[in-house]
Amino acid sequence: MKLSVIIPALNEAESIKRAIETSLALSPHEVIVADGGSTDDTVSIAQKLDCQVIASPRGRALQQNAGAAAATGDVLLFLHADSWLVPEGRSQIEQTLKSPTIPGGAFQHRIDANGLLYRLVEAGDSLRVCCTRIAYGDQGIFLRRDIFEALGHFPPVRLMEDVQLMKSLRDVGRLALLPGPLHVSARRWQKHGAIRQTLRNWCLLTAEYLGVSPDQLADLYAPHSNPVKVHRE
């Protein structure tokens, strides 16, 4: 397996070093950082590490597609810049994709904070994947490159590009939810509140299911760090 790890980034100077180093610990074929025009030290930090840094128009879907276009591996793993996968994640992917009926999947995640409420959020997210076969991007979406190409990449929407891709992917075959864990920063739950953040995600998913376009939803969503950004983190 030639694993390409793709990390979209925008003003992630505080977390990009860890994201890259933990990705390198997966012994991947390559690590690609797709920067969306950071104004902090994200790019300079990344360029000092053993990875490829490319420039992309801003927007998570566009950045991930740019990273995939630059990748040469046969398996793509998309990781958010505020998350990090345990080294065992590579072997979990490799063993899972030995089955021709599984096109890809995601990981159980572990929010980097103590407290019962966070554990309930994690359990709820795993239950969502099992029941709806839809994983969010912060759960580390992975899939075979040829299938990604056949699906037409991430749709160029400003929000919920992960949900759109997963809906297409689940039509291809059975999706895997791997144990990981994939660790993720608690910053957005801590800023907005765990309950409020979870309810917001449910409302977005419900609205999208009812036919509201992701771009319309993007105009209503307030991201955690930069008022210009419009994609869900």
Structure tokens at 52: 């490829």
pTM (two decimals): 0.86
Residue 232 lies in a domain: no
Percent of the chain with pLDDT over 90: 68
pLDDT digits (tens, 9 = 90+) for 52-103: 999 999 999 999 999 999 999 999 999 999 999 999 999 999 999 999 999 9
Contact indicator for 192, 117 with CB cutoff of 8 Å: no
Spatial distance between the Cα atoms of 53 and 39, rounded to a whole number of angstroms:
15
**Is 227 part of any domain?**
no
Assigned domain for 230 exists: no
C-alpha 182: how far from chain center: 10
CATH number, position 17: 3.90.550.10
Give the pLDDT confidence of 174-198 residue by residue, as tens digits: 999 999 999 999 887 766 666 776 6
Residue with tokens 């979406």: 141
Domain that holds residue 86: 3-218
Please count the structural domains in the chain. Answer: 1
The alpha carbon of residue 158 and the mean position of all alpha carbons in its chain are separated, in whole angstroms, by 14
Alpha carbons 160 and 30: distance in angstroms, whole number:
26
What is the tens place of the pLDDT at every residue in 101-138?
999 999 999 999 998 988 988 998 899 898 889 898 99
Provide the mean pLDDT of the chain: 88
Would 91 be classed as within a structural domain?
Answer: yes
